[in-house]
Amino acid sequence: MAIFKGAGVAITTPFKENKEVDYDLFTKQIENQIAGGTDAIIVCGTTGEASTLTHEEHLDVIRHCVKVVNKRIPVVAGTGSNCTDTAVYLSVEAEKAGVDGLLVVTPYYNKATQKGLYEHFKIIADAVKVPIILYNIPGRTGGVNILPETVVRLCNEVENIVGVKDATGNISQVAELMALSKGKVDLYSGNDDQILPLLALGGIGVISVLSNVAPKQTHDLCARFFEGDVEGSRKIQLDALPLIDALFCEVNPIPVKKGMELLGLDTGILRRPLTEMEEANAKKLEKAMKDFGVL
């Protein structure tokens, strides 16, 4: 059974001016997502600035999310690392915290081979019982790409590796993956501008940045597709494109944290090396949010 179906939000992590995690505001963000119909919370991913959290902070944010959500919807924790032992540690501790699943990114910087990727993910999966979604995002991992054959092999041979978040942007590769998988791989879009195309190829949802500022619309995009209303789903996808473009006009999560500020859910500072959004881009984002009806 899939960890979740539909729109999962890659939730931001709010910080105070003193750089500490703002847990009160984080609670508000979680409640806002649940009220908006989000189907799952994905905590401590790229959008959650996990790369700048200490291990202690990382796990505390996961624990807080699990506690606040309280089983109302699934919680999936990002626990990947370029160090296999570190990923095992974070994954084991996240499982102890009560998460429903794990999102494990391709190792970055090391640039592993396909054999190395297989062993990395298998070692992590063997250390836990909760289901795992692989996270394939070559743009952030030095171009390292989990090939379709490797994804399918992992899902076939490792019981608790169940799917992949695909952020390659390569529709042809996704089609090849789904042809090889024969229904064995749970596919989630990792790109908000390609939600509908990946659903059409057999995907079951999205792990979304857009959902931070538009939870209902992102949920509805998926739900309408599953209900057979492809035209309704298509309209949401196409109408959202200017906002999606604005949310990625600077590196994620710079724009989405500005979007949260505009919604009155100010996520505070960005941890360096990320910087505040350029004024011209911020105006573009504000206009796109208004045009899409979320502001």
Q: What mean pLDDT is reported for the chain?
A: 97
* CA-to-CA separations, 35 to 30, 57, 70, 72, in angstroms, rounded: 9, 26, 14, 11
Going along 31-131, which residue ranges are E strands? Answer: 40-43, 75-78, 101-105
Residues carrying an active site annotation: 135, 165
Q: Token pair of 237, please?
A: 């996808």
CA atoms within 13 A on the CB side of 134: 32
Amino acid at residue number 130: V
Confidence of residue 83 (pLDDT cuts 50, 70, 90): very high
pLDDT digits (tens, 9 = 90+) for 204-221: 999 999 999 999 999 999
CATH topology of domain 6-227: TIM Barrel (3.20.20)
Show me where the domains of the chain are located: 6-227
Question: In terms of Cα–Cα distance, which of 149, 146, 142 is closest to 133?
Answer: 146
**In which band, very low, low, confident or very high, does the pLDDT at 239 lie, cut at 50, 70 and 90?**
very high
Residue 155, pLDDT above cutoff 90 = yes
Instruction: Indicate the pLDDT class of residue 22, thresholds 50, 70 and 90.
Output: very high
Binned at pLDDT 50, 70 and 90, residue 130 comes out as very high
Contacts of 113 (CB under 8 A, 6+ apart): none
Determine contact, residues 163/188, Cβ cutoff 8 Å.
yes
